[in-house]
Chains A and B, each alone.
Chain A
Amino acid sequence: MEVDFALIGHQESWRAAADVLAVLRGPAHTPLPEEEIKDILPWIPPRAVCHVEVRSITGARARGLYIDSFIPPDRLEAAYVHENITRVRLAAAYASNAKAKIVSLGGFSSILIEGNFDQLPERRDSLFTTGNTLTVGFIVQGIQKMCLLAGRELRRSTLLIVGATGDVGSGCARCLAPTVRRVLLNARNVERLRRLGAELAAEGIGVEIATNLERFSTAADVVICAASLASPSLLLNRIAPEAIVCDAGYPKNLSASAEMPGARVFFGGLGQVTGGMRFAPDFRGILNRHPFPDVVQGCLLEAMALALEGRFEPFSQGRGFITPEKVDEIRTIAARHGIYLAPLYNGAGPLEDDLDCPMDCGRTVAG
């Protein structure tokens, strides 16, 4: 079978991993208890889990593989970085052996590799993209849509980006900073923060940087959480009432115990394939655990969009190279094939039912 694209991912929780194994075991076998799954999963070598077919609204189709690196959900911390890079490299080699033409690196896979593309296997058959440009596109579009729904003017807003120096965070900063009143950049690496802050300030944008969220002079009313956290552990205790908060992490950034009364939280960076998708075996709702059909992370959708377009190129590589122009380009490609911003939702369910959404506001291609 010709493999147009491959998607490299991992499960963000033991619950998600259990569901994947339950499908693999099939209905004739009882699901494994979580303790057994914790014993088994770390030993599974990276490999394809299922075939994926994606359909464009133009009628084009692309076929691919979902490859799981089987990084155990409790081993996403820095202590396991070498083990996890090895897993991603093996998953990448698997994709290359399958002769996938374009390969997306989902979740932590891209975080591990974005600064180390030279560690990927050297095969001319497969090209790799982090997929981060389309993720940024959907985060930006989600913020714009949420502001529209909430009757908020983005240009009057103070935008806080947590994880601002990462590939996704810096891409969001470059796209949104010119459209807001002030930008607060937060990350762990102060040198990178200074560089990004200086870059934006040179454009005449009001910027503050801080490694500690408490240090900012003002409270943000629009927040993007794009930090690479091993588990949902972020507490945002200094944001404006009724702030719009986009949790764009995978795994999610926001702690379940984060108290943000009045905040409008949504999960960002997600797109929906309106032409439809098919998994074999049927992993619908298992690999893409969202309340709407055919919703997938933007980073994975980037490879699908490029495959549907027949543009097999390393669209997103390295860290810090995402520009508004590149974001517009990939969103235009995606939209041409019916891949749009997914309906907004959060842990409590869909958000747009309660809000008056202008027709097709999520499908506007322009930024």
Chain B
Amino acid sequence: MTEMSKSQCRNDGVPCSGGVIESLIRPGCTATERESLSPSAPIWQDVLAQAVTGELLAAMNYTSLSEICDDPAEIADALEHAEGERGHATAFAAEGRKIGVEVIDNVNARHWKRLREVFLGCIAERDFVGCLVVQEIMLESFAVASYARVAMEAPGSLGKTFARIAAEEEEHVDHAMAILRAERALDPQHFDDKVHRLHLDVMTTLAKMLAKECKDGHCEVCHESCVKPSLSEVSLSAAELRGASLRQYLKTLDALGLPGEVTLGWVAQLPV
């Protein structure tokens, strides 16, 4: 069987490689709901699965962060953030149910797991600044830009939810920026070296996730085959999600004060 897009899989009602299409329809979905399921629902299902996984990972990261904070206010702040991220995951999952699909999550999927490991490395070193750089500068840049881009194309409440959460994530970044700018002012070279070290791990992983093709095999989040080739059916593309994310990342690093010619070199060296 030749490879088919996710929407073709659903409409034709035939088995896809690695599973059957019914697996993407939520249990208890009525016959009428199944009939009215949009052809693009399987695509949004995978987009939502990535978003939910990212939000749950962020919630885990903030919970871990709370464990290395000394100040009760910082602990409360981190736990509040964790709760907020869980709320985002819940909201995305609810959007999936609205379009008749079950949104799975997998924080142990290979790339997300690697991102978590890097964060836990910072936790092990009680590196509060490193944690903020990974979560707020790198992962949130990715989230803010890709959610905002998805919001432009996703229909109805799905689009509105992506737009709302993108805006809320951007507020997180603003909060962290003040702390990180102050930290950089103390020792710019030391700060920039740390960002670069984390960039090599985190952004390399994110770049692989955002590459036009998953060269390392299945990402373990998409419910069937890779969603990327089907994104054009909902007026998106992996290339523009990557471009928007890396642009947001560069702008965030600019706002922190890192030299643009240096960060441009970092981004240019990422895998494609």
Give the interface of A toward B (CB within 8 A). 21, 24-26, 29, 32, 36, 39-40, 42-45, 47-51, 65, 94, 281
B260 touches A42 (CB 8 A): no
B250 touches A44 (CB 8 A): yes
B269 touches A24 (CB 8 A): yes
**Which of B4-12, B102-110, B160-168, B240-248 faces chain A?**
B240-248
Which B residue sits closest to A47, measured CB to CB? B260
A48 touches B250 (CB 8 A): no
| Cβ distance B12 to chain A, nearest Cβ, rounded Å | 31
B152 at the interface (CB under 8 A from A): no
Query: Interface on chain B toward A: helix, strand, loop, or mixed SS?
Result: helix
From B251, B259, B263, B268, A21 is in contact (CB under 8 Å) with B268
A24 touches B265 (CB 8 A): yes
Q: In the assembled complex, which residues on chain A have CB atoms less than 8 Å from the CB atom of B242?
A: 39-40, 43
Within 8 A of A (CB), among B78-137: none
Q: How far is the CA of A211 from the CA of B15 in the complex (A)?
A: 64
A40 touches B261 (CB 8 A): no
The 10 closest A-B pairs by CB, nearest first: A43-B243, A47-B260, A24-B268, A48-B261, A39-B239, A43-B247, A48-B260, A36-B272, A24-B265, A25-B268
B264 touches A42 (CB 8 A): no
Q: In the assembled complex, which residues on chain B have CB atoms less than 8 Å from the CB atom of A51?
A: 261
Which B residue sits closest to A36, measured CB to CB? B272
B260 touches A40 (CB 8 A): no
B233 at the interface (CB under 8 A from A): no
Q: How far is the CA of A26 from the CA of B260 in the complex (A)?
A: 17
B171 at the interface (CB under 8 A from A): no
Q: In the assembled complex, which residues on chain A have CB atoms less than 8 Å from the CB atom of B251?
A: 45
A94 touches B260 (CB 8 A): yes
Please encode chain B, from 196 to 213, with 1 for each CB lying within 8 Å of some chain A CB and 0 for all others: 000000000000000010
| Cβ distance B227 to chain A, nearest Cβ, rounded Å | 18
Q: How far is the CA of A49 from the CA of B267 in the complex (A)?
A: 12
| Cβ distance B156 to chain A, nearest Cβ, rounded Å | 28
Query: Interface on chain A toward B: helix, strand, loop, or mixed SS?
Result: mixed
B254 at the interface (CB under 8 A from A): yes
| Cβ distance B200 to chain A, nearest Cβ, rounded Å | 13
Q: How far is the CA of A102 from the CA of B246 in the complex (A)?
A: 30
B261 touches A47 (CB 8 A): yes
Q: In the assembled complex, which residues on chain B have CB atoms less than 8 Å from the CB atom of A42?
A: 243
Which B residue sits closest to A97, measured CB to CB? B254
A29 touches B250 (CB 8 A): no
Cβ contacts A to B, 30 pairs, < 8 Å = A24-B264, A24-B268, A24-B269, A25-B268, A25-B269, A26-B265, A29-B269, A39-B242, A39-B243, A40-B272, A42-B243, A43-B240, A43-B242, A43-B244, A43-B247, A44-B250, A44-B264, A45-B250, A47-B250, A47-B254, A47-B264, A48-B259, A48-B260, A49-B261, A49-B264, A50-B261, A51-B261, A65-B261, A94-B260, A281-B265
| Cβ distance B172 to chain A, nearest Cβ, rounded Å | 21
Q: In the assembled complex, which residues on chain B have CB atoms less than 8 Å from the CB atom of A49?
A: 261, 264
Which B residue sits closest to A43, measured CB to CB? B243
Q: How far is the CA of A51 from the CA of B261 in the complex (A)?
A: 8
Which A residue sits closest to B262, measured CB to CB? A48
From B243, B247, B269, A26 is in contact (CB under 8 Å) with B269
| Cβ distance A37 to chain B, nearest Cβ, rounded Å | 9
Q: In the assembled complex, which residues on chain B have CB atoms less than 8 Å from the CB atom of A50?
A: 261
Q: In the assembled complex, which residues on chain B have CB atoms less than 8 Å from the CB atom of A25?
A: 268-269
Which A residue sits closest to B212, measured CB to CB? A39
Which B residue sits closest to A29, measured CB to CB? B269
B254 touches A32 (CB 8 A): no
B259 touches A44 (CB 8 A): no
Which B residue sits closest to A280, measured CB to CB? B261
Q: In the assembled complex, which residues on chain B have CB atoms less than 8 Å from the CB atom of A26?
A: 265, 269
Q: In the assembled complex, which residues on chain A have CB atoms less than 8 Å from the CB atom of B240?
A: 39, 43
From B246, B261, B265, B272, A32 is in contact (CB under 8 Å) with B272
Q: In the assembled complex, which residues on chain B have CB atoms less than 8 Å from the CB atom of A24?
A: 264-265, 268-269
Q: In the assembled complex, which residues on chain B have CB atoms less than 8 Å from the CB atom of A45?
A: 247, 250-251, 254
Q: How far is the CA of A11 from the CA of B239 in the complex (A)?
A: 21
Q: How far is the CA of A29 from the CA of B250 in the complex (A)?
A: 20
Within 8 A of A (CB), among B22-44: none
Q: In the assembled complex, which residues on chain B have CB atoms less than 8 Å from the CB atom of A39?
A: 212, 239-240, 242-243
| Cβ distance A97 to chain B, nearest Cβ, rounded Å | 8
Q: How far is the CA of A44 from the CA of B264 in the complex (A)?
A: 8
Within 8 A of A (CB), among B149-187: none
Q: In the assembled complex, which residues on chain B have CB atoms less than 8 Å from the CB atom of A281?
A: 265
Q: In the assembled complex, which residues on chain A have CB atoms less than 8 Å from the CB atom of B254?
A: 45, 47
| Cβ distance B184 to chain A, nearest Cβ, rounded Å | 15
Q: In the assembled complex, which residues on chain B have CB atoms less than 8 Å from the CB atom of A44?
A: 247, 250, 264, 267
Q: In the assembled complex, which residues on chain B have CB atoms less than 8 Å from the CB atom of A32?
A: 272
Q: How far is the CA of A21 from the CA of B250 in the complex (A)?
A: 16
Q: How far is the CA of A26 from the CA of B266 in the complex (A)?
A: 10
A43 touches B261 (CB 8 A): no
| Cβ distance A359 to chain B, nearest Cβ, rounded Å | 41
| Cβ distance B267 to chain A, nearest Cβ, rounded Å | 8
| Cβ distance B141 to chain A, nearest Cβ, rounded Å | 12
B264 touches A40 (CB 8 A): no
Which A residue sits closest to B243, measured CB to CB? A43
A43 touches B272 (CB 8 A): no
Q: In the assembled complex, which residues on chain A have CB atoms less than 8 Å from the CB atom of B268?
A: 21, 24-25
| Cβ distance B264 to chain A, nearest Cβ, rounded Å | 6
Which A residue sits closest to B268, measured CB to CB? A24
Q: How far is the CA of A44 from the CA of B246 in the complex (A)?
A: 8
Given contacts A26-B269, A39-B242, 11 further A-B contacts (CB under 8 A): A21-B268, A32-B272, A39-B239, A39-B243, A40-B243, A40-B246, A47-B260, A47-B263, A48-B260, A49-B264, A65-B261
| Cβ distance B229 to chain A, nearest Cβ, rounded Å | 15
Q: How far is the CA of A48 from the CA of B212 in the complex (A)?
A: 27
